[in-house]
Amino acid sequence: VKTNLNLNMEQKTQKWKPFKGAKVDWPADMPDDMLEEAITVSKKALEEHDFESEGVQIAQIVKQHMDEKFQPYWHVFLGKSFGCHAVHERNRFVYFCFE
């Protein structure tokens, strides 16, 4: 017997969409201007810093920028291979990657 949870998880397929140089888990729960800002500042920080040795600094740069521009409190997770499940404010979550 399948539970509703399993049935719903089977029906949801992850959909990735290219957006401003990133691959975004779509639909993003964030307005496009905010999404563009998050991607732009992340890409710039990654280009200017070494991911392996300065990963924490990269996350701090992105968080500080988003806090200042869109009000605190932002959380930034940075990594190469991980899953994410977070409770968040409506219109304030995005999951994306660069290839």
Instruction: Please choose, from the candidates 67, 76, 71, the residue with its C-alpha nearest in 3D space to the C-alpha of residue 94.
Output: 76
Below-50 pLDDT ranges, the chain: 1-9
Distance CA 97, CA 79 (A): 9
Instruction: Please choose, from the candidates 97, 53, 59, 57, the residue with its C-alpha nearest in 3D space to the C-alpha of residue 78.
Output: 59
| pLDDT attached to residue 17 | 93
Distance CA 83, CA 96 (A): 12
